[in-house]
Amino acid sequence: MRIDVLTLFPEMFEGPLRASLLGKAVEEGLIEVALTNIRDFATDRHKSVDDAPYGGGAGMVMRCEPLFAAVESLRGRNSLERVILLSPRGRRLEQGTVRELARAPDAVLICARYEGVDERVSQALVTDEISIGDYVLSGGELPAMVLIEAISRMLPGVVGDWESVETDSFYRGVLGAPQYTRPPVFRGLEAPAVLREGNHAAIRRWRRKEALRVTRARRPELLQYCTEEDQPLLAEIERETSAAERENEP
């Protein structure tokens, strides 16, 4: 997959694109990330890419011309079918969106700065706007890195053990199950015996049940993604929770 990133700060991507699994994926050609400096497409002698907003107000707004020119320069290298603006106004990033993008051959990510971009960029240039959460950052570079990292994990060969991807939070709609490793007992806290006994069917059942339990407690809205097979486990959790609450009653 090829991802073209349009940014005013390409140097911000140097570390993340060289480190860990993402760096290995780039090195092995499993994903290609090409950086384009938006300022290279400014037309005035000061290389300005922003201007004061019409109607007044604080801050500056990214201009149309450099952004359109930067995206159009990618023709022949990128299909331009997925031109994504990283923006707090966009739809919230979810695992389903990540899987969808990972199936595509390419994408363009635009990293906004200042108070935002001229609305005509949204109207006539981008095909989608994505937000990584309900908060504001100084620019779209970090959200772009988050999206690239998430997409890379869905590409074949990036994560050596695919089972570790399938057990990630959100991969199957709910949060991930608790994880344990050695020692079996630490400061009086014991790792569940079922995980140490080698019964793989029991382990799978425990992990799914505990994934449902933590989702019910922390992100109950995600339970809408449960399957019919999850219903008996949810019923068990409900009974256990009710029993614990009764025991704790004064």
228 is catalytic: no
Q: Which two tokens stand for residue 169?
A: 């939070």
168 is catalytic: yes
CA dihedral 191, 195, 198, 204 (to 10 degrees): 180
3-state SS string for 28-86: CCCCEEEEEEHHHHCCCCCCCCEECCCCCCCCCEECHHHHHHHHHCCECCECCCCEEEE
In DSSP terms, 191 is beta-bridged to: none
Please choose, from the candidates 28, 150, 139, 145, the residue with its C-alpha nearest in 3D space to the C-alpha of residue 100.
Answer: 150
Q: Of residues 2, 99, 168, 178, which has the active-site annotation? A: 168
Q: Of residues 2, 39, 53, 115, which has the active-site annotation? A: 115
Contacts of 46 (CB under 8 A, 6+ apart): none
Chain Cα centroid distance, residue 142 = 11
Contact 220, 192 (CB under 8 A): no
In DSSP terms, 86 is beta-bridged to: 111, 130
88 is catalytic: yes
In DSSP terms, 186 is beta-bridged to: 189
106: region left, alpha or beta (phi > 0 left; psi from -120 to 50 alpha): beta
Q: Of residues 53, 88, 178, 192, which has the active-site annotation? A: 88
Contacts of 202 (CB under 8 A, 6+ apart): 194
Give the 3-state secondary structure of residue 234: helix
153 is catalytic: yes
Name the residues annotated as catalytic: 88, 115, 153, 168
